[in-house]
Structure 1
């Protein structure tokens, strides 16, 4: 969601930076927390405390998040998903299930905006479908 001035909010920027770190970690075969710690050590810190919260949260919950994604992405394995979509979905699921201060519709719309900007034309609908289904079943999943 953009700030009233049309500029991205601090949390929008944090999500984008968290996505960058998750994507880079996966591409380099590192854990997300290793990638975050490396960025901090190199003076390229998360830029926003929420970035670190997202990266550490996704890393801590990744086995469960990936299990949910495998269950809810009918016909798609995690490996078959574009890497951007997979990591955006991880962020979105983490926010839906573990960030009570983030309204559910914000978590979903922010995830859709990330893939709209960075992935395929089909990605927003795909991400919306998975996150929407997880949102509907949230009480059963918590």
Structure 2
């Protein structure tokens, strides 16, 4: 599985978990089906984002102007959480690639304004990381 597809599947899995009683394995089974081969990058994204949710949310809160995390649409919140996980917790994740992937996911799964919003929040976040 290519990384873009792994990100799409991870987004779908994390989206299902957000605000439900589903476990990672239940949501993963819904998204991946009976996939014979596990994908390490997919599993790292899902498990890492889920395990570090509190820290990720704290990092995000400082970059949301006039928004609370709870008010964000679920798609954008999930995309931002995954991107912040990659940027803050994965050492081999180039910021430009992570941002481009997050923007593409928001174009595919969000509405017309999603990509601009995700770009704005992640730009602030990456600027802070660079300083």
Change (3 A) 1:34 1:71: farther
With normalisation by structure 1, the TM-score equals 0.80
Partners of 1:127 and 1:118 lie apart in 2 by: 12
| Residue number in structure 1 paired with 2:85 | 94
Residues 14, 47 of structure 1: 8 Å contact kept: no
Q: 1:78 aligns with which of 63, 66, 69?
A: 69
Partners of 1:85 and 1:101 lie apart in 2 by: 23
| Residue number in structure 2 paired with 1:18 | 10
With normalisation by structure 2, the TM-score equals 0.87
| Residue number in structure 2 paired with 1:129 | 120
Say how many residue pairs are matched. Answer: 131
Structure 1 portions without partners, runs of 5+ = 1-8
| Residue number in structure 2 paired with 1:35 | 27
Q: 1:69 aligns with which of 60, 63, 70?
A: 60
Residues 46, 52 of structure 1: 8 Å contact kept: no
Change (3 A) 1:46 1:61: farther
Structure 2 portions without partners, runs of 5+ = none
Residues 57, 94 of structure 1: 8 Å contact kept: yes
Change (3 A) 1:13 1:46: farther
Please report the RMSD computed on the Cα atoms of aligned residues, expressed in angstroms.
2.5
Partners of 2:36 and 2:19 lie apart in 1 by: 19
